[in-house]
Each structure stands twice: as C-alpha cells, then as structure tokens.
Amino acid sequence: MKKMIAKLLMAGLIVMGSSTSVFAAELPNTDTTPKTKITAEQKAIKQEARAQKQAEHAVVFAQRAAKHDLTVEALRAKIDALKAEAEAQGITWEEFKIQRKEARELVKAEKLLARADKKGITVDELTAKIDALKAEAVAQGITWEEFKAQRKEARELVKAEKLAAKEAKSAATAQQ
C-alpha cells in the first residue's frame, strides 16, 4: 500500500511538474524588474557632467602645476615618475603618497623643533606665537604670506639701518 501511494505521489509530481512548465511557457514574460532605457537626453546630461568634471580637474591640475612653477606636462611627467618609484618599491600609489606626506610632516616638525630650540622656547610656545601672528595677519586683512613678507622687509630695513649706523660710526672714528 505504501509503495502504491509513493508511486501515485511520484506520478502526480511528474505530471504536476510537466504541467507547470507547459503553463509557464504559455505565459508572457512575467519578469517584473523594470527595464530602464537610457534616453539620449540622459546620455547627453551624463556626458556634459563628465566633461565639466574633466574641465574642473584640468583647471585644478593647471593650478597645481603653476604653484610648483611647472608646466602641466612637466607635472604629469613628475607624477608618472613618482608612480613608477612607488611601483618599484612594491607599494600602491596611495601608500606612496601617504609615506611622502608623513616624511614632509616629519621634516616640518623637525624644523619647528630646531627653531624653538634656537629661540630657547618650547614648540608649544613657538606655535602659539605663530598662531598669534597669523591672527594679526587676519586682523590686518592680508594673507599669511603677505604678512611674512612685510615682516621680512621690516627686519631687512632695520638691519640695513643698523649696518649704516655702524659704518658711519666706524668711518667717524677712522677720521679722528
């Protein structure tokens, strides 16, 4: 009896399976995922956005080149050489840039420490003085670079005046 029920059950599944495949073949495409077609207008918008982004990148790249007194081609060549160096070291370009940035920051910190030692103050005191001078530049409405240039000119002027006074004094003593 169990065998007979099993056979009937199996026959029913086979029949049911074949009938569902026939039934499915008769149905139209029931795929409910929306088919999106990109229109010509959408393509044009994407191309325009891409072109604008490339133009902005070109401007930024040209500014970077000018900042380093290089042509765009020279900057590209320099970057390509650095990328080759990174590849030769067996590291990624991103890792290479991070290493170079850390090295620059280390040099900057060492210079700051040397300046602080030369003045006989701590690095914190020196950075506080620098921050105060930067605030003074902002208060004057000029850039930090302009402020530094003004201070340098003033120092050179004082130095020249002291040198002229010293030469005048030595010339006066030489005449006596």
pLDDT tens digits along 63-79: 999 998 999 999 999 99
> How is residue 73 written in tokens?
């081609």
- Distance between CA atoms of 106 and 103, rounded to whole angstroms? 5
Question: For the segment 68-119, what is each residue's pLDDT rounded down to a tens digit?
Answer: 899 999 999 999 999 999 999 999 999 999 999 999 999 999 999 999 999 9
Instruction: Please identify which residue in the block is written with the tokens 């060492």.
Output: 110
Per-domain boundaries in the chain = 122-169
The answer to which of 28-32, 119-123, 144-148 has the lowest mean pLDDT is 28-32
Contact between residue 159 and residue 167 where contact means Cβ atoms under 8 Å apart = no
Of 61, 59, 91, nearest to 75 (Cα)? 61
Number of H helices and E strands in the chain, helices first, is 6, 0
